[in-house]
Structures are given as structure tokens and as C-alpha cells.
Structure 1
Amino acid sequence: MLRLVLRLTGAVSLTAGAVALAVGCGGVEPDPLPQPEPTEVTFPPQFLWGTGTAGFQIESGLDHTDWGIWASLPGKIAGDDQPNDGPDALAHIASDVGLMATMGLTSYRFSIELARVYPTRADFDADTPDVAGLAAYDELIDALGDEGIEPLVTLHHFVWPSYVRDPTQPTEPQGFERDDTVALFESWCSRMGAHFGDRVDLWVTLNEPLVEASVGYLASIFPPGVSDTDRLVAVMKRQVRAHARCYDALHETDQTDANGDGVAAMVSIAKHDRVYEPFDASLDTDLDAVRRATHFWNRWFTDAIVLGDLDEDFDGDVDVTGDPALVGRADYLGLNY
């Protein structure tokens, strides 16, 4: 069985003296912990039971995105599968929402794709959204409302239009490497809050930002497909700022309490966390590796948007405390695990 091995002297380092990790296999699996007897749990009436998707994964017709281009590059797809061979979800809104209602769901998380609403940079700059694209999301949100299913809207789920990130130009600054992308994202959030805020209260600004950054700019298996720690760090720092600015924009533009709970907008990120264990708990180096990995993966982004504490060089020490542009920019914690 594969195990995650974390050592201080691993092969991957983020800036001098920062995080060092190694992934490997081996070791002896410990005996499983005894499992407690199941107990009955009563959920509160307002508890939301839902499911979730992402636009590129289910919609089709997003060839003009970084992921659409990525999928067309040689060697990126095993077999003959293509993104457009998926369920074509926007053509089946009524039946899909009907199935959700039959299942008893009370919430549905999905993404609104920037590339569908603004297919070109000229469209975005002129604020002339694609009529059919915007109408499809209107139809979906209205159908959910008719069934009493609360929408949870993600405004960036890994995918950028090709005018923001183009994997055919990997040496060029991409996505959140650029300051203008932060401004673009803030504007995008503001427009979506203004358009959908009368029907949407629950928002996710960024889905798993550290996954997108580390897998695209370090592991090189997401667009733009590079391995460069300096570019990775640049992306992560701008992701934090972009989230905070999107948070403010949504609270400014979404002033309608759509679900009647007394709050017009609840905004956060969807965070992917992992539990790290030392390969050898008797070694201080392994224990320190766990601390560093946990700080980098689980705490760095959350501490920034909740406490305003930012570790700018990833050495485990806070460099900026209580940054007023970051602190308190999470109304809930979205946890993927």
C-alpha cells in the first residue's frame, strides 16, 4: 500500500529554507484503529444535503479554455476520450434538477464559467456577455429555486479562458502570475454578484487554489504545465489577494437575502486539506516535515483570509499580521477532503 513519506530533506523545496517534501512508498502499515459503534445523529433543519460539479467536467463546449487546449495537446489524454464527450449538462437542466429533487437534495454546487459568459477578452472588456451562456446559468439557478434547492456557486474551478491562461505558451506569465488577472477576477466576481445575487447567497471564489497552483506550476500536470517554484509562489500570493478582492466585490454587489436566513451573501473558498503523518515519529526531521507540510497545505491560505496573517516566504513564520486587506475574508470554511 502506498504511503506518503514526508522528510525535511526531500526533493522539492519552496524558496530557500521553506518547505521540503518527498513522496514515496514503503514502510509497514500500522494495525487499523478500532472503530466506534455507529450512533444516530440528528441534523438541524437548516442542514444542506447536496452534490457538486464543475463546469468543464460536465458542460462541454469549452474548447477555448486552457483545459480545452490542454486536452488537445499530444499525450495529455489516455485513449480517445474527449471533454466534449461528457454529459452536456446545460442541455439537460430540467431533467438533472428533477433528479436532484427526487433524491431529496437541498443544495447544488456548480461553477459559472468565465469562458462561457465572456468567450473573448474583447467581450469581457466591453462587458458584453454571451447571451446564450448567461441564459443557461439563469435557467439552472431558476430551476433550482423552483425545487427549493439552494445554489452554491463557484466562480473559478480550475479553468480559465485561453485569453487568461494558454498552455501553448508555457513560458509566458499565466493566470494569477499577472496582476491584471487579479483585477479581471475582481470584476468578474462583481458582475456575477450583481447579476445572480437576487437568487444566490452561497459563493465559492476559488476551488482548491493550492491544488491548481501546485499541480500546474510545480507538478506540471495541470495547465500551464510548468515546474517553477518562483512562478508557483507568485501565483499563490495573488490567489490570496484575488480571493479577498472577490469577497469584497460579492458583498458589495450581492445585497439580496435570497434564502431568507438574514444574510445576503456567504463567501469563502473550497479548501483541499490533507492529514500528514511522520514516516518515523521518533525522528525530529520527520516531525518537522509534517509541521511544514501542514503549514503549507492546510494553514497558509486559511490563516491569510481568516486572520490576515501571511507567511510571504513560506518559512513557517508570519511576516504580515492582521493585514486589513485580508483579515476576515471568509464567512465559512469550505473543506474538501
Structure 2
Amino acid sequence: MNYDFPDNFWWGTATSATQSEGHKSGDGKGENIWDYASHHFNQRFHNGVTADDTSTFYQNYREDIQLAKNIGLNSFRTSISWSRLIPDGDGEINPQAVDFYNSVINELHDQGIEPFINLYHFDMPMALQEKGGFENREVVDAFARYAEICFDLFGDRVRYWFTFNEPLIPAEAGYLHPRHYPYVTNFRRAAQVLHHIVLAHCKAVAAWRRMNLPGKIGIIMDVIPVYPRSDSPEDLHAAEMADLFYTRSINEPILLGRYPDELIALLKEHDQLPQSLPGDCELIASTKIDLLGINYYRPRRVKARETLLEEPHGFVPERFFEEYIMPGRRMNTSRGIEIYPAALYDIAMVVKERYGNLPWFVSENGIGISDEEQFMVNGQVQDDYRIEFLQEHLSYLHKAMADGSNCLGYQMWTFIDCWSWQNAYKNRYGFYRLDLETQQRSLKKSGLWFRSVIENNGFERA
């Protein structure tokens, strides 16, 4: 079967500043929470690899962008490092960072690649984290200032802006299920962080609109469909609760302009509501985005609770549901997560039916595999598993578009193997292999396949 995509479809890749840039002595960059945590909580990081040792994009951006051009990418998503641009988060601008990001943006344009620029990808400046990070309402205003500085410096050449990548994650992973610094487990604090992130997003969008810049502004989010174990009332309720806490809690204020009534009632009942100020709800209601990016890696499957849940740190959403391990599910054993391409179709239908068929694109999708060296033949990784993964997901995306989904593009995670938060380089995701010893980049078989897809604006699959 032929899978043909529209003209001007965005074919690209995604990465982030912290995961790709690395450090260079004298670059003026301030410390962020990953720089701090990877040194002070080094045992949490795979093989102790710190955020210093990422993929050297800071030094090699020209050559790397040429590699992007070599496989035909027409779009490239990355982020600006808040702590590189404003080392203490709310003070002086680092001129070396301005030069760097100007050069990156200009080089992308020179190579015919559209820059998609994200403002926040989990990397709070440490100076602001010491003031409470997004728990502190002052940091909301610091973010709005940072956003306005970015728009002023780069907005004449960046047409696609995104305020946050997966805005639920800093709240959930930093303050509820402690995988990110500051490694807190406290639901009310997590809820406060999430509310302030929503406000920070709204204020950044307002700043962009005031400046009357060309282009579009949006956000990168998860819109994960939740699958219940069965159609029993108990399992269906469990799925509704998982969806309420981990999807609707952030998607509805951003995409519909209000928090779900059921969530507000539930948090009141359990004394978990965050603090808000007069005008917050009006600001949220008045904020609209132009473009939605969606990251998808795995489905969420749940069932009614069957085991006693201990809550040593107080309230957690999992009191209402638990994970369902579906028999026969297909797994990526490197990461321990399910592979379920059909969910991409379901996500597209959720956007169409629940969120007004907003223009959107796949902003991340990919497969991380460990020990890819075992698949090397004559110096090239023969990653047929990645080609199969892409074919399957793109096939379901194609079906969704045929059924009316307003999808504009697909960006894979990632371009060159990059450092992943706590896993460092355990699992590899890139079209280009990174040799950690030499920093040499080499094209994998999947990169050749993707180049063919871009050249043909589609692919054939039996």
C-alpha cells in the first residue's frame, strides 16, 4: 500500500537544549537543575553520565545541521536553554548564548530547515529552583520575561514557538513521583507547580501576541488515550480517573480554557487544591494556541484497584486506579514500555473530537534501544526495528488524516543519539549514531529510510 502525505508536510526531528548542547568552558551558561542533579545525585543517572557530557551540539551545530540537511529534514525542533540565555534565570542576558542561538537559527534557515523553538524542556535554572522553581509565583513572571526576551531576540526568524514541552512532567516527575529534581512527593505542591506552569504558558502566549510577530505559537503535550482493562463500570471509572488526573488536568486548561469541574471538586474534597489568585481563571480562559505538538511513546492501560495502596506521603491519584498489564502486549524490552502504534490514531481522534480539530503535529515519537552496537554491520547500525516502528506509526497517522485529523507533520525523537534524563545514553533513539568516545556521528539504516520517505513524501508498505 502507498502512504502518501500532503505537500508541505513537516518531516523532522526533535531534541532539547539540555539533552544535546553540552558544556564548553567559558560559554557563560548558568547551572540548571539537571546540571546540579547529575552531579549531586549522580547515583540516579545511568553510568553516572552527567549533563556536561551531552551530544556537543553547542560546538558542532553547523556540521550537525548539515547532517540534518543530508537526510532531507524540513523542520527541526529544539529548545532554548533558559539558564544559557539568562544564567540566573531573571537577570542579565548572556551574549554568547545570543550569538549561539542566532547562529543556529540562521544556519537552519540557510539549509532550508524550519526551526521549531521550544522555551522550556524540563530545565529550570538552578538559581530560580533555589527560590522554589514553579512553586514560587515570582518564577511565573521570570518565565514570562524570559519568553519575551526570546521573542524579541529571535522572533523575526522563528515562525513556530512552543512554550513548554510536556508541561505535566515537571509537576508529576519533580513533585509527585520523584524522577526529576527536586525529587519531592507531595500532591498539593505538584498541583501548585502545574497551576503556575499553566499561568506561565498563558503569560508567554500573551507576550507573543502583544508583539504581533509572524508565525504561530503553541505547546507540546501528551494527549494520551487511556485504555481500561474491560467494560466493567469499575474499570471504566478507573480509566476516567487516570484520564482526569494525567491528561485532562493539563490539556483542558490549555486547550479548552478551564480546569475540569470534576477535578476541582475532587481536589476540594481531599483538600489538595493549589492556591490561585483573582484573574487566574480569566487569563486561562482567554488564552488560545495556534498549534499543538503531541508526544507519543506508549499507551496508558488501567484497571480498578485490586491491591491495597499505601500512601506514605499522602494523597496520590493512583488510589483510584492501578496499572493494567495486558496479556500478550508487545514490548520494547530496552525501556520496559508497550509498543502500540494504533494509539496514534486514537490520539488524533481525541484532538479532532474533544479539542476542536486543532492543527497539530507529532512532535515526538520514537523507539529507544540499548546496545545498538550489536546491530552494526560494516560500521552502520542496521536498525530495521526502528524502520518498522516508524512505518507502523506513520500508517496509523495516515489513516487518521484520511479520517479528517488536522495533522501537519511528524518529528521523530531524535536526530542524533542524545542524553536522556536519568538514562543518559542507555537507550539510543537517533537517526545518527553517536560514538561517545570520539563524538563521531554515523547515519543508521533508519536515517537512509527516512530520507527516502521525505524525498517521496511517503512510503510503500506491504
| TM-score, with structure 2 as normaliser | 0.57
- In structure 1, the partner of 2:295 is 336
Secondary structure of the corresponding residue to residue 5 of structure 2 = coil
**Alignment-mate amino acid for residue 253 of structure 2:** A
> In the alignment, is the contact (CA less than 8 A) between 1:152 and 1:202 conserved in 2?
yes
Which of 142, 150, 160 is matched with 1:184 structurally? 142
1:169-208 Cα offsets, whole Å, 9 max, x none, are xxxx621111101101111111111110110010110110
- In structure 2, the partner of 1:18 is none
* Structure 1 unaligned blocks of 5 or more: 1-38, 167-172, 256-263
> In the alignment, is the contact (CA less than 8 A) between 2:18 and 2:54 conserved in 1?
no
Does 1:50 find its partner at 2:12? Answer: yes
Aligned-residue identity in percent: 28
**Alignment-mate amino acid for residue 332 of structure 1:** L
Does 1:119 find its partner at 2:81? Answer: no
In 1, the alpha carbon distance for the partners of 2:169 and 2:123 equals 12
Which of 235, 244, 263 is matched with 1:286 structurally? 235
In 1, the alpha carbon distance for the partners of 2:113 and 2:264 equals 44
Does 1:41 find its partner at 2:3? Answer: yes
Secondary structure of the corresponding residue to residue 226 of structure 2 = coil
* Structure 2 unaligned blocks of 5 or more: 24-28, 269-277, 297-462
In 2, the alpha carbon distance for the partners of 1:311 and 1:290 equals 16
**Alignment-mate amino acid for residue 154 of structure 2:** F
Which of 219, 224, 229 is matched with 2:187 structurally? 229
> In the alignment, is the contact (CA less than 8 A) between 2:38 and 2:49 conserved in 1?
no
- In structure 2, the partner of 1:98 is 66
- In structure 2, the partner of 1:31 is none
**Alignment-mate amino acid for residue 269 of structure 1:** I
- In structure 2, the partner of 1:32 is none
CA shift at 1:271, angstroms? 0.4
- In structure 2, the partner of 1:310 is 259
- In structure 1, the partner of 2:21 is 59
CA shift at 1:114, angstroms? 0.9
* Residue correspondence of structure 1 range 6-21 to structure 2 within 5 A: none
Residues 318, 83 of structure 1: alpha-carbon distance in 2 compared, 3 angstrom cutoff: closer
Secondary structure of the corresponding residue to residue 308 of structure 1 = coil
Which of 249, 268, 271 is matched with 1:300 structurally? 249
**Alignment-mate amino acid for residue 188 of structure 1:** Y
Moved over 4 A (4+): 315-320
Which of 103, 122, 137 is matched with 2:101 structurally? 137
> In the alignment, is the contact (CA less than 8 A) between 1:295 and 1:316 conserved in 2?
no
> In the alignment, is the contact (CA less than 8 A) between 2:135 and 2:189 conserved in 1?
yes
1:5-61 Cα offsets, whole Å, 9 max, x none, are xxxxxxxxxxxxxxxxxxxxxxxxxxxxxxxxxx42332222111101111111112
In 2, the alpha carbon distance for the partners of 1:42 and 1:163 equals 48
**Alignment-mate amino acid for residue 69 of structure 1:** Y
**Alignment-mate amino acid for residue 153 of structure 2:** H
Secondary structure of the corresponding residue to residue 41 of structure 1 = strand
1:123-177 Cα offsets, whole Å, 9 max, x none, are x33xx311111111110000001111100001000001111114xxxxxx62111
In 1, the alpha carbon distance for the partners of 2:82 and 2:11 equals 27
CA shift at 1:254, angstroms? 5.2
In 2, the alpha carbon distance for the partners of 1:211 and 1:81 equals 22
- In structure 2, the partner of 1:23 is none
* Residue correspondence of structure 1 range 250-261 to structure 2 within 5 A: 250-253=208-211, 255=213
Residues 197, 215 of structure 1: alpha-carbon distance in 2 compared, 3 angstrom cutoff: same
> In the alignment, is the contact (CA less than 8 A) between 1:254 and 1:265 conserved in 2?
no
> In the alignment, is the contact (CA less than 8 A) between 2:35 and 2:52 conserved in 1?
no
| TM-score, with structure 1 as normaliser | 0.77
Residues 40, 318 of structure 1: alpha-carbon distance in 2 compared, 3 angstrom cutoff: farther
1:280-310 Cα offsets, whole Å, 9 max, x none, are 432x222111012112222222221232122
